[in-house]
Amino acid sequence: MPSVTLSDDLAYAVSFPAPPRRVVSLVPSITEALAATCPERLVGATDWCTHPSNLAVQRVRGTKNPDRAAIAALRPDLVVANKEENRELDVQRLRADGIRVWVTDIETVPGALDSLERLFVDVLDVDTPGWLSAAREEWAGPMPEPARDVAIAIWRDPWMAVGRDTFTGDVVARLGWRNVLAGSSDRYPHVDLPDLDRDGLIVLLPDEPYVFTADDGPEAFTRARTALVSGRLLTWYGPSLVGAWTVLTAAVQG
């Protein structure tokens, strides 16, 4: 690939004299995608990058407080960030340090797959990953009519849930579920427990960011039905999308 200038998801122009060979990822989903596609290029990731489980790269602290000195010491050709996962201030500081940063902005399943395909094909100059093609096939098709009402809890004490304009909201909509908080003015609103605990509602209890378990979460509900689900399948974009439709659908059957 000759020298090119490309615009990231936020329309910021990034110049590449050659395809990046040393990449630091500040996004757990994208870390997993890089490790599955071109692991030899991934040299750094955050402490929250838990997949694959055997990932052996330099850790650069968290998504909200990356260690800029540790990142610079890795001499990356590119740092990959995300509008929601990472702070704009950290992106600006990394760029001020002379480090290329590519920022993704993902709110839907198709948008995630398009963004990742641009990253791999246009920026990294690799072929479209097989997992990405499989995910497109799995999640293709028109948006179904909602057949179930759900709420997606993300925290308790205080209770919080998924609201409007989120990747998770798009995932559940494509599963044929209606997020009852999709009309909220906030993307992650605080909610009163009685507003969730009502007949006809299924409350999804993922294991991240709050770790809901069989002993911590379901006992709070007496009227709504609950379903413990993988937070990764609800919130991560990348290889985790392959098979997620089947697993999530099975979790709320009955």
Domain spans, the chain: 4-138, 148-251
Distance in angstroms (rounded) separating the CA atoms of residues 137 and 176: 17
3-state DSSP helix/strand/coil percent for the chain, to nearest 5?
35, 20, 45
pLDDT tens sequence across 24-70: 999 999 999 999 999 999 999 999 999 999 999 999 999 999 999 99
Starting at the edge strand found earlier in the chain, the sheet holding 23-25 runs 58-59, 42-45, 23-25, 78-82, 101-104
Distance in angstroms (rounded) separating the CA atoms of residues 3 and 65: 32
Q: What is the CATH number of domain 148-251?
A: 3.40.50.1980
Residues facing 206 on adjacent strands: 229
The domain made up of 4-138 has a fold known as Rossmann fold (3.40.50)
Give the mean pLDDT of 193-219.
97
* pTM confidence score: 0.93
